[in-house]
Amino acid sequence: MKADPKGVLTGVHFMDGDHAACEGALAAGCRFVAGYPITPSTEIVERFAARIPKVGGVFIQMEDELAASIAIQGGVWGGQKVMSVTSGPGLSLMMEHLGYAAMTETPSVWVDVQRGGPSTGLPTLPAQADMMQIKWGSHGDYEIIALSPNSPQECFDLMIKAFNLSEEYRCPVFLMMDEVVGHMTERVNIPSADQIDVTERKWTKKKPGEYKAFATTPEDLVPEMVKAGDGYRIHVTGLTHDERGYPAMDVPNQAKLIPRLLNKIRNNVHKLVDVRMDGCEDADVIVMSFGITSRVATAAIDAARAKGLKVGHLRLIICWPFPVALIQQLARTAKAFVVPELNMGQMVLEVRKALADVDRKVKVISVPHPGGTVHDPETILEQILEAAR
């Protein structure tokens, strides 16, 4: 279906990434946001609070991120599309409810404008060091989807994609921004509503009595949904549950539920791969990057190519699930991977893991950075030259 025009600020704007992300959420149909102020994400909720009265919906500033991250899930079961927005310390508080959203299959969008950490760290300066936290930070096994924009335009575009994926897979979806992208201002084209595809919630057509809230088929592991107030008398719990949603805390039910929650995403990794590749087919060295670092890497790659090196650029748009098969395919011809990221080496671990199953010897060079600013392109260039040696 197409976007509701009420939420779409059609036009050409000179806008920062935080504001563009908010406009993306409104265009995607988000009508309920619960948030808590935290630098450098606050502008997103500030804009939502200013815009929502006239669009029609609710913003509420909660008492903390624990509350914000569960209030949005109440919002989903009340029937709305929802989002919460945070940064490092707030993200840590949200981990419990990330698990709840995964367990209860509550479609929800979580925005993390990454700053330097750990703890209070660098509130106003960038990092990309929460990549593993979102994947592994809540207890137990779960899967998420995470997207990484590198410009205000992508904050808008990928926010819509995040909402659509959360509805399609009924899972938490992260928009992994960073301080630079959040506070960077560029041109943002917002198309008209009839040019924006939004995914409707997977509402059931079954009647009360024949509907089971968490029943799926082997072909489709994503259950159909209803909302409170529609007469279905659903039960939703974070406990291990059966198809009716009733607590069923035993080995067979755990063995049925948990693999399904993972496989509804893992079985679709091939569909979820979203990367930008530039010159990877015949490259000796492939630079893998995401978010703001992809723009810094581009400067380094241009410089390396000017020296006559065959360097490819693999940019992750969707970071989770990680495109293992693609890495393995690229490893058939490439000699080395160079992975710059604004952390001390997180996504590079996924590259190494993917290459563990590859027979050829392929070099992997991490270009870590403790955060606070972006890499100097020279630093990345040096590692590309090292990799090519």
Asked if 96 touches other proteins (CB under 8 A), the answer is: yes
234 binds other proteins (CB under 8 A): yes
Rounded to a whole number of angstroms, the minimum distance from the CB of residue 229 to other proteins is 5
Binding mask 152-171 for other proteins (x = CB under 8 A): --------------------
Among the listed residues 24, 40, 116, 340, the single contact to other proteins using CB under 8 A: 40
C-alpha pair distances (Å), 5 with each of 23, 196, 266, 350: 12, 10, 34, 40
Cβ burial of 219 (10 Å; 0-12, 13-18, 19+) is exposed
Neighbour count for residue 47 (Cβ, 10 Å) = 21
Q: Considering the rule CB under 8 A, would residue 314 count as an interface residue with other proteins?
A: no
CB-nearer residue toward other proteins: 312 or 377: 377
Work out whether 132 is an interface residue with other proteins (CB under 8 A).
no
Backbone phi, psi, residue 377, to 5°: -55, -30
C-alpha distance from residue 202 to each of 140, 195, 220, 223, 242 (Å): 26, 21, 12, 8, 19
Out of 229, 251, 271, 389, the residue judged to bind other proteins by CB under 8 A = 229
Range 359-373 burial, b when 16+ CB lie within 10 A, else e: eeebebbbbbbebeb
From 8, 25, 45, 67, residue interacting with other proteins (rule: CB under 8 A) = 67
Count CB neighbours of 263 within 10 A. 12
Q: Does 236 bind other proteins (CB under 8 A)?
A: yes
* Best CA proximity match to 142, nearest among 243, 230, 265, 298: 265
Q: Does 58 bind other proteins (CB under 8 A)?
A: yes
Our finding on whether 227 is near other proteins (CB under 8 A) is yes
Which stretches of the chain bind other proteins, using CB under 8 A? Answer: 12-14, 16, 31-32, 34, 40, 53-54, 56-58, 60, 62-64, 66-68, 70-80, 82, 96-97, 100, 123-124, 179-180, 183-187, 227-239, 246-247, 292, 295-296, 298-299, 302, 374, 377
